[in-house]
Every structure is written in structure tokens, then in C-alpha cells.
A and B are shown apart, each in its own frame.
Chain A
Amino acid sequence: MTVAGKINTLHFGILLFLLACFFILPAYHVGALSRIMVLAIYAIGLNILFGYTGLLSLGHAMFFAAGMYGLGLSIKFLGVSVIPAFGIGILSAAVLSVLVGLLALRTVGVSFMIVTLMFAQTIYLVVLYFGEYTRGDEGFVLQQAERMLLNFDVTTEAGRYFVAFGAFSICLISFAALVQSSFGKRLVAIRENEERARMLGYDVWRYKLLAVIISGTVSGVAGALYALLFGYVGATFASVQYSILPLLWVLLGGAGKTIGPLIGVAFMFYLIDASSAYTSAYMLIAGLALVILTMFAPRGIAGILQAKVWPWLP
């Protein structure tokens, strides 16, 4: 089989497996998996920027929150139906990522991380400041009646699973296509050696900006989906913790690998799920995982798979 054939087989195999899970697994895990798939879209968003372009953003929660509040607030206050609200959510994230990209890309390295962190902090504080509308940390709930996708009820277990599955499939397949395209290869070239990419005549700044916009918008899609499927919008999702978590997922699964985000989210979800039975300080597990990963497996689970089993892993 050609390499491209193997890659396609792997991706479709994963999607088939996820589809089968709905019929095999008990209800609890089906619910968990729909959450995992939505969060994996978020991780895919960060992976485009961090894993493929080599830009480490510590503020991706602002894009997730833009999508989430774009959808949530427009449903709550404008009374629009789900599809236009979803469009507003994505548009908010896209506009925010253009602005952040234009400003933050003037900096490099450590400064870029801190600028994104501070922009995200600003957004988080803005959400708290307008607590009258956003209900701050407490958040607000979207009612079942407000969450009808045309005539399709997304609040049932099956509805939620299939919407999450559909969105995740689209994201994974287009993400894989993006990575294989010449555009994706140029991003990797920038990650590997920015100077050389520039010397070869590529407009590095433009590609980085596009990477920020795509990455931020995909994260916004995840935020809007999360609000739609789980019916809750809260400031926690804009906090620093939700900027760190996708980084953890991507690193754990494998930065710069198409299947990394899903593996990372699933692994971390079940790790925390298992440990929260014993302690309320479950973020301790996240901390230990980060330290151990960065020390012993900086390329994540997919990186290990690539080294040991599938050298062609994209």
C-alpha cells in the first residue's frame, strides 16, 4: 500500500472505530466520547499552530471562548436559532484570531507565548467584567428548546454523539488534507527553519497569519459545539487552565501528528476520570503527566508509535 493509502486507511479506520463505539459501548462512555471528540477538535486547532507551524500559543482559550460565547450570547439575547448562532460563534473566533494574529505575530518566541497569554487574560477579564450578561464564573445554561438543530434534538445521547462525530470527522479529514497539502508543508518548513523558508522566497508572515486564523477558527468551532452540545457557557472555559489543557493534550498525543489530538484528549480524559475517584486535586495528574512527558517522551504517544510501529505516520 502507498503511504497516502496507509494514512487514509488509518484515518477512516479511526472514524469507523468511533462510529462503532456508539453501538458497542455503554451510555457513560458514549457520553464521554462525545465530549472527547469536541475537545479533540479544540486540540486539532492548537496542533495546527503549535505542532505544525511551531508557534506556541498559551492563550487559545480566548478562541474557544469566542466561539462559545458567540453562540451562547446570540441564542440567549438575540433569540436566533442554532445555525445562525453557530455562524456567529465561528465568525467571532475568526475575527478575534485575525486581530490577535496581526498583533501577536509581531513578536517571536517567548514574547509570542506571553502576548497570547495576556490577550487571553484580557478576554477572560472582559467576560468577568460583563458579568451582568455572561454570568461570570457561574455561567449560564442553554435550554433544550433553544438547542434544536432544525428539527434534530442535540440534547439526546444519540443526537449529541452524532453531531460531535460528524464535526470531528470533517475536522480530522480536512486537517489531514491540510497537513498533506503544499500549504501544510510550508507551515512545517517555517517550523523547522523560519530563516530558510524566508530565504526560499516564502512570505513567512502571511503563512503564520493564516495558521493563526485557521487554528483560532477551528478552536472557535470547538467552543461553539461545546456550548451547543452540553448546553453550558461559563467563564472557566476562557481561563488560563483551558489554554494549558489543549497544549497538554497535543503534547501527550503527539505534537505535529494528525492523530495526536484525539489520542491526547482521550488518554487525559480517562486518566483524570480514573484519578478523580481518589482525589479532588486531579490536576496533579496533569502536572505529573506534563513533567514526565517533556522529560521522557517529548514527541508524545503518536511520536512513540511513529518511532516503533508506523514510520509513515503523518
Chain B
Amino acid sequence: MDFGPHLMLATLEGTVIASILVLTAMGLSIVFGVMRVVNVAHGEFFMLGAVLAWYVSKMLGGHPAIGFAAALVIAPLVVGLIAAVSDQLILKRINYDPDRTIVGTIGILFIIQQTTLMTFGPEARPVEAPFNQRLALPWFEFSEGGLQMIWPWGLSITSYKLFVIFAALTVLLALWLFLTRTKIGLIMRATQQDSETAKAFGVPVGTVYSCVFGLGAALAALGAVLVVPIQQAHYLMGADPLLMAFTVVIIGGLGSLPGTVIAAFLIGMSDGIISVFFSPTLAQIIATFLVAMILVFRPQGLMGKAET
């Protein structure tokens, strides 16, 4: 393949990665924005979503689309519920103290991960995509006969991957409408701005925190259900999304939702493009190091306000 079609393929793959990433990172960003805590167990909620998707599709059987559609609803709900309960049981009792929350969520991380290892087992298990046609893509090239449309071999995308991009955009839109147009969204934003004043106005801040924590985890689980037909479910799969989501939230500016979206696309795309052209490990080394350097030299992120 020539450079042009190759780059287009890399960009498409990058968009798919970015679509999953934006959902996971949004979950982390909302939790940080409203509750001011760093949820290290976020990657495990992602993993739990993928594992539940496998269980649901296994139990329902029949056409893969039935299981997938059911998983799309059930997995985020269950994961959100688990997160809300762990918030009530653990985080609420340590008063959301930043350091202790990190330690507590590291604990939750190991509990979820190891419980999955004991029940789901160490194997990677696939979930079948509901539909998976291969769509060839055209490429335009100038030659002696003017502009020509060619169909380079290997330049294609599956219909499922297109669906992932579309689904992520829909969820983002729905989330935006939810936060800006509904009463619950208003309450969440009020809590984010000033939890003390919100409490004085009768907002049940404790309940809002649990809901936000659940919502954040549910978004991660939703991303995982979408990714599991592309990447298999495995009990250690949470580590990469966690690191990537962290990166995105930091680059976007802690707590800034538009920043998160922009950063997710930047990082997802560059990850897709770099890993097509370079060795994946080298790409990861460069990406991780660059993000650390951005944090060092521009700690407020791209869209965040500078701390005084």
C-alpha cells in the first residue's frame, strides 16, 4: 500500500480507538470533576463491562446481535450499580480524602481484578460482533488520465467499527444533553461547582456522589462492551484503558469535559497512527513519556485553568 491509503487506514483505526477512549475518559473526568477524586479502579470497571458482556452473550445465545444488544444495556447498569455500592461502602466512609481515596480505589482495583480471575478465569474470551461486513474503501489518485478512483488492497473497515464510532458519538451527545438539559444534570453541575452551597440548598450531595461514581463506571463499561467484539475480554485488560484515560483527562485539563473530548480524539488518533507506522512498544514508550512531559511542563492541561 502507498503512504496515502496507509495513513487513511491508520486514521480510521485511530478514530475507533478514540471513540472507545472518549467514553472511558469521560467517565473518569466526570468523577474527577464532580467528586474531586481520582478513581484508580476505573480500568477495572471497564474490564468488568467486557467480562459481563461475555457472560450476557453466552447466556442468551442465539444470534450474536441479541446478546450484544442485551449486554449494551445490562453491563453498564450492573457495573454502575457495583460502583455506586462501593462508593457508599468505602469512599463515603473515608470522606473522599484524596490520598486515602487513591489507596482505597487501588484496593478496589485488586478486589475486582482478582475476583474476576477466580470466577472468569485467566483466558481471553471473544464476544462475536453483531454484524461484521468488510467495507472496501476507495482512494483517489492523480495519474495520466486525470483523477482516478482506485480500490487499494487492504484499505477497508468493518461495518462494526463504523458502528462503534457512531455509537460513541451518540452517547456523547446524550451525555451532553443529560448534563445541560435535565434537572439531575443541573444538580450534578451545582455539586461540581460548590458542594457546600449545593448542600445548603437541599441537594443530597452523598446520593449525587454515588450516582456520579456509578455513571462514570457505567460509561467505562459501555466503552468496554463496544470494544469487546474487536478485542477479547481478559481479566488484565483494564490497565491500558486506565492509563490512556488518565492521560486524556490530564491532557484535557482535570475536570474539563470539552477538554477531555478533544484530548481523547488527539490521543486516540495519534496512538492509532503511531502504532501503524512504528513498533507498538516504541509507540507506547514515546506516548507515555510525552504525556508525562506535558504534565510536567503544562500541568493545567490543554483546556484547564492554570492553578494559582
Contact = CB atoms under 8 A, between A and B. Distances in A.
Contacts of A289: 107
Contact of A122 (B100, B113, B246, B289): B289
B111 A118 contact: no
A106 B117 CA distance: 39
A281 interface: yes
A294 B104 contact: yes
A114 interface: yes
Given A107-B296, A122-B288, A293 B103 contact: yes
A106 B239 contact: no
Interface in B235-253: 239, 243, 246-247, 250
Contact of B110 (A56, A286, A294): A286
B167 interface: no
Interface in A271-292: 279-284, 286-292
Contacts of A291: 90, 104, 107-108, 111
Nearest to A116: B292
Contacts of A115: 292, 295-296
Given A288-B111, A291-B107, A110 B93 contact: no
A66 to B, nearest CB: 16
A91 B106 CA distance: 31
A290 B104 contact: yes
A298 to B, nearest CB: 6
B285 A129 contact: yes
A246 B197 CA distance: 40
A292 B247 CA distance: 29
Interface string B90-131: 100110001110111011111101110110000000000000
A295 B285 contact: no
Contacts of B254: 110
A125 interface: yes
Interface size class, chain A? 35 or more
B38 interface: yes
A32 interface: no
Interface size class, chain B? 35 or more
Interface in A104-126: 104, 106-111, 113-115, 117-119, 121-122, 125-126
A291 B38 CA distance: 15
A128 B292 CA distance: 19
B171 interface: no
B299 A284 contact: no
A244 B106 contact: yes
Contact of B284 (A111, A125, A251, A295): A125
B132 to A, nearest CB: 32
Nearest to A58: B102
Contact of A118 (B106, B108, B291, B299): B291
A114 B107 contact: no
Given A283-B113, A291-B111, A295-B90, A107 B299 contact: yes
Nearest to A136: B281
Secondary structure of the A side of the interface? helix
B65 interface: no
Given A110-B254, A294-B107, A287 B292 contact: no
A125 B281 contact: yes
A3 interface: no
Interface string B244-282: 001100100010000000000000000000000001011
A240 interface: yes
A78 B235 CA distance: 40
Contact of A107 (B117, B279, B295): B295
Contact of A106 (B99, B246, B284, B297): B297
Contacts of A288: 107, 110-111
Given A294-B100, A295-B90, A283 B107 contact: no
Contacts of B98: 109-110
B288 A121 contact: yes
Nearest to A239: B239
A281 B106 CA distance: 16
**B118, B254, B281 pick with most chain A CB within 10 angstroms:** B281
Contacts of B103: 247, 251, 290, 293-294
Contacts of A284: 110-111, 114-115, 118
B250 A287 contact: no
A281 B122 CA distance: 10
A103 interface: yes
Nearest to A131: B281
A118 B292 CA distance: 6
Given A56-B99, A247-B103, A291-B90, A122 B110 contact: no
19 contacts: A56-B99, A106-B297, A107-B295, A110-B38, A110-B98, A114-B250, A117-B246, A118-B243, A122-B289, A125-B288, A247-B103, A279-B118, A284-B111, A287-B106, A287-B110, A289-B107, A290-B104, A291-B107, A294-B103
The 8 closest A-B pairs by CB, nearest first: A287-B110, A290-B107, A291-B107, A284-B114, A281-B114, A118-B292, A287-B111, A294-B103
Interface of B: 38, 90, 93-94, 98-100, 102-104, 106-111, 113-115, 117-118, 239, 243, 246-247, 250, 254, 279, 281-282, 284-285, 288-289, 291-293, 295-297, 299
Interface of A: 56, 103-104, 106-111, 113-115, 117-119, 121-122, 125-126, 128-129, 240, 244, 247, 251, 279-284, 286-295, 298
